Amino acid sequence: MTTHSTAKSDDAVGALCKQRIQGLTAYAGSVASISAKGTPYTPATLIALYQKCIDTRTALAAVRAQEVAALAARVSADAARKAVDASVLAWAVETFGPTSPQAQAFGYVEPNPAKPTAETRAKAVVKAKATRAARGTKGKKQKAQITGSAEAPAAVVGPTPTPTNPTPTSTK
C-alpha cells in the first residue's frame, strides 16, 4: 500500500480532489461500491465527498477575500479617524473648557502631571537645603530639642564689634 503525503495548500488539495473525481468518473462508473477502511461507498457518494471538499475551499477563499477587503476598509477608516481625532478633542476642550461636562462627553481626561526625573528631585533637595541654611530654619527634630526653661535664655555671645574710627591712645 502506498501512502501519499498530505497536501498542505488549498490549491494542492483542490487539485487532488479534482484528480480523484476525474478518476472516479472515468474508471469507477460500473463499480457498485468502493470500500474505504471497511466502509462501502458508491462512486457517486465519493464524487460528492470530493466535490464538497472543493466547494468548501472555494467558499472559504471567497470569505477570506471579503476579510481582506474588510480589513483594508477598516485600516482606511482608522487612518481617516486618527487624522481628525486630536483636532476634534482639542476643539471641544477649547470651546467648552477642560473641566466642562461637554469636554468629558468627548472623552477628554486631564493628563496626570509628569513625574519629576531623578535629576529634578536631586536639584530640588539641594535647593531646599540651601534655602533652609540661608533662612536659618530648623526641621521638626531640631525644633523638638528646644525646650522652655525657668531661667532666662543665655545671651548669645558673638565677636565684639570693633569701632570703625578708633581713638588713639597716648602714652605720655
pLDDT tens string 47-84: 999 999 999 999 999 999 999 999 999 999 999 999 99
Range of 15's domain? Answer: 10-81
Q: Is residue 99 part of a domain?
A: no
Give residue for cell 483636532.
Answer: 87
What type of residue is 72? A
Distance CA 19, CA 47 (A): 11
Q: Is residue 115 part of a domain?
A: no
Q: C-alpha grid cell for residue 114?
A: 509628569
pLDDT tens for 8-17 read 788 899 999 9
Confidence of residue 7 (pLDDT cuts 50, 70, 90): very low
Per-residue exposure over 42-75, b if at least 16 CB sit within 10 Å of its own CB, e if not: ebeebbeebeebbeebeeeeeeeeeeeeeeeeee
pLDDT tens for 25-41 read 999 988 899 999 999 99
Domain count within the chain:
1
Q: Is residue 97 part of a domain?
A: no
pLDDT tens for 133-142 read 888 777 788 7
